[in-house]
């Protein structure tokens, strides 16, 4: 597929790797936005808003090409579980995820000054029951500190996950199938 050259508005090395897997040529910009949820904002609306805001912020930095923004959140019992602030916060999150399923939502927005395409991918992820030793050891690996929900499925955290229902790459940070479809639609409408 002959994709358009785009700008990726992301600081995530995982998103860069996934976009590279698709064979997309892209320029990278870091889009700093306020990620505070709005009062009574549903998780799906929140993650879609962040993806759009990242893309719009990227557009302000580079206006010659379409900009792709994405965001991933972990949702359990309707609550968004962010990046852990410290071990106590991480421990509480892991206790909440232990032995049950939760949702990972990834939103992608592709836009320029005149048009916008977007998608939302939701994946169910199951955690095996975790012991205190599992949680302690995983925290001290250093991996959880910058991850939504405190884990990375593509790293050591994958050993806690016996099953997913949905898109593995979306849980990592960028749904490959859906991103490919957005880029193809963009080219077809060019």
The H or E element that residue 165 is part of is: strand 163-165
**What sign for the dihedral angle of Cα 159, 20, 83, 43?**
negative
Nearest partner of 48 among 104, 134, 119, judged by Cα: 119
Taking the C-alpha atoms of residue 106 and residue 171, their distance in angstroms, rounded to an integer, is 7
User: What gap in Å lies between CA 75 and CA 43, rounded to an integer?
Assistant: 7
Is 5 designated active site? no
Angle, vertex CA 167, rays to CA 172 and CA 164, nearest 5: 90
Q: Which of 32, 71, 89, 165 is catalytic?
A: 71
Q: Cα–Cα distances in Å, from 146 out to 11, 82, 152?
A: 11, 9, 9
CB 33 within 8 A of CB 49: no
Neighbours of 109 (CB within 10 A): 26
Task: Tell me which residues are annotated as active site.
Answer: 71
């Amino acid at each position: 597929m002959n994709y358009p050259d785009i700008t990726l508005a992301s600081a995530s090395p995982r998103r860069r790797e996934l976009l590279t897997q698709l064979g997309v040529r892209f320029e990278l910009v870091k889009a700093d936005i306020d990620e505070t949820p709005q009062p009574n904002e549903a998780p799906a609306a929140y993650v879609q808003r962040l993806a759009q805001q990242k893309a719009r912020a990227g557009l302000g930095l580079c206006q010659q090409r379409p900009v792709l923004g994405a965001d991933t959140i972990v949702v359990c019992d309707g609550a968004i579980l962010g990046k852990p602030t410290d071990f106590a916060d991480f421990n509480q999150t892991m206790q909440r995820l232990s032995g049950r399923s939760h949702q990972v939502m990834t939103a992608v927005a592709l836009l320029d000054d005149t048009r916008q395409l977007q998608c939302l991918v939701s994946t169910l992820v199951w955690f095996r029951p975790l012991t205190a030793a599992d949680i302690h050891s995983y925290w001290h690996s250093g991996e959880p500190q910058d991850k939504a929900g405190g884990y990375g499925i593509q790293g050591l955290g994958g050993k806690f996950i016996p099953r997913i229902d949905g898109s593995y790459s979306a849980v990592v940070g960028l749904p490959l199938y859906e991103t490919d479809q957005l880029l193809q639609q963009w080219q077809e409408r060019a």
